[in-house]
Amino acid sequence: MKPDYGQFVPELPDIMKSLEQFYMVTRTDGEGSITYTNKNFLEISKWTPKRVIGRTLWQMFPETDASQKQAHVIWDCVIAGTTWSGTVEKITRDGEPYFVNMIAIPIMPTEEEPFSATFLELNITEDIQLRDQLQQIAFIDYETGLMSRYKLEKTVNDFIEEGKHFSFVFITIDHYYTLKDLQSSESKIELIKSFSNRLKRYFQDNLIARIGVNEFIVLTAFGEWYVQGFLLFLEQQPIYIDNIAIPISVSGGVVRYPEDQKTYNHLMKAALIATKDVIEHGGGKISSLTPESHKVLNRRAIIDQKMFTALDHNNLQVVYQPQFDLASGKVTLYEALVRWEDNDLGMIMPDELIPIAEENGLIHDIGAFVLEEAATLAAHWNRKDRHASISVNTSVREFSNTQMKDKVIDILNETKCPASCIQLEITEKFAFQAEEESSIILQMKELQDAGIQFALDDFGTGYASFRYMQHLPITKVKIDKLFVNSLTTQPKTQQLVEGMIRFSKSMGLYVIAEGVETKEQYNLLEKMGVDAIQGYYIGMPVTSDDIKFEVIK
Ligand code: C2E
Ligand code: CA
Ligand code: CA
Domain assignment of residue 184, yes or no = yes
Nearest to 471 by CA among 424, 431, 531: 431
Check which CATH number belongs to the domain holding 154 and give it: 3.30.70.270
Q: Are residues 367 and 432 in the same domain?
A: yes
pLDDT mean by block of 10 residues, the chain; 553 residues: 49 76 94 95 94 94 92 95 93 93 94 93 89 78 89 95 96 87 79 95 94 95 92 92 88 94 91 94 91 85 88 88 97 97 91 91 94 97 94 92 94 97 89 78 94 92 65 91 92 89 90 97 97 97 87 41
Q: Are residues 267 and 377 in the same domain?
A: no
Q: What is the pLDDT of residue 491?
A: 87
Q: Of 111, 130, 149, which closes a domain?
A: 130
Distance (angstroms) between ligand 3 centre and the Cα of 481 equals 7
Q: What is the pLDDT of residue 478?
A: 95
Q: Are residues 346 and 432 in the same domain?
A: yes
Q: Are residues 409 and 277 in the same domain?
A: no
Ligand number, closest to the Cα atom of 350: 1
Q: What is the pLDDT of residue 1?
A: 45
Most informative mutation of 317, 393, 522 for ligand 1 (most atoms within 8 A of CB): 393
Check which CATH number belongs to the domain holding 361 and give it: 3.20.20.450
Q: What is the pLDDT of residue 339?
A: 95
Most informative mutation of 316, 334, 337 for ligand 1 (most atoms within 8 A of CB): 337
Q: What is the pLDDT of residue 462?
A: 65
Using CB distances shorter than 6 Å, the residues near ligand 1 are: 321, 337-338, 349-351, 354, 367, 370, 393-395, 457-458, 481, 515-517, 535-536, 541
Q: Are residues 499 and 362 in the same domain?
A: yes
Q: Are residues 455 and 476 in the same domain?
A: yes
Render 384-444 in DSSP notation, one character per residue: TT---EEEEE--HHHHHSTTHHHHHHHHHHHHT--GGGEEEEE-HHHHHHHHH-HHHHHHH
Expressed as residue numbers, the domain containing 156 is 140-289
Ligand number, closest to the Cα atom of 398: 1
Rounded Cα distance, 79 and 11, in Å: 24
Render 265-327 in DSSP notation, one character per residue: HHHHHHHHHHHHHHHHTTS--EEE--HHHHHHHHHHHHHHHHHHHHHHTT-EEEEEEEEEETT
Q: What is the pLDDT of residue 10?
A: 56
Domain assignment of residue 553, yes or no = no
Rounded Cα distance, 280 and 428, in Å: 26
Distance (angstroms) between ligand 2 centre and the Cα of 391 equals 8
Protein residue with least CA distance to atom 23, ligand 1: 515
pTM score, two decimals? Answer: 0.65
Domain assignment of residue 14, yes or no = yes
Q: Are residues 73 and 181 in the same domain?
A: no
Protein residue with least CA distance to atom 46, ligand 1: 393
Tally the C-alpha atoms within 13 A of residue 288's C-alpha that lie toward its C-beta: 14
Distance (angstroms) between ligand 3 centre and the Cα of 12 equals 75
Protein residue with least CA distance to atom 19, ligand 1: 515
Q: Are residues 276 and 398 in the same domain?
A: no
Q: What is the pLDDT of residue 333?
A: 98
Q: Are residues 416 and 527 in the same domain?
A: yes
Q: Are residues 121 and 145 in the same domain?
A: no
Domain assignment of residue 73, yes or no = yes
Beta strands in 76-165 (DSSP E): 84-91, 97-107, 116-123
Distance (angstroms) between ligand 2 centre and the Cα of 393 equals 5
Ligand number, closest to the Cα atom of 515: 1
Q: What is the pLDDT of residue 412?
A: 98
Q: What total of structural domains would you count in the chain?
A: 3
Protein residue with least CA distance to atom 11, ligand 1: 541
Q: What is the pLDDT of residue 553?
A: 41
Domain assignment of residue 105, yes or no = yes
Q: What is the pLDDT of residue 6?
A: 45
Domain assignment of residue 222, yes or no = yes
- Ligand 1 atom nearest to 321, measured from its CA: 14
Q: What is the pLDDT of residue 396?
A: 86
Rounded Cα distance, 174 and 317, in Å: 45
If residue 207 lies in a helix (H) or strand (E), which one and from where to where? strand 207-212
Across 478-506, b (16+ Cβ under 10 Å) vs e yields bbbbebbeebeeeeebbebbeebbeebee
Q: Are residues 281 and 316 in the same domain?
A: no
Domain assignment of residue 44, yes or no = yes
Domain assignment of residue 299, yes or no = no
Protein residue with least CA distance to atom 17, ligand 1: 515
Check which CATH number belongs to the domain holding 56 and give it: 3.30.450.20
Q: Of 103, 130, 157, which closes a domain?
A: 130
Distance (angstroms) between ligand 1 centre and the Cα of 461 equals 15
Q: Of 130, 148, 164, which closes a domain?
A: 130
Q: Are residues 273 and 363 in the same domain?
A: no
Protein residue with least CA distance to atom 41, ligand 1: 338
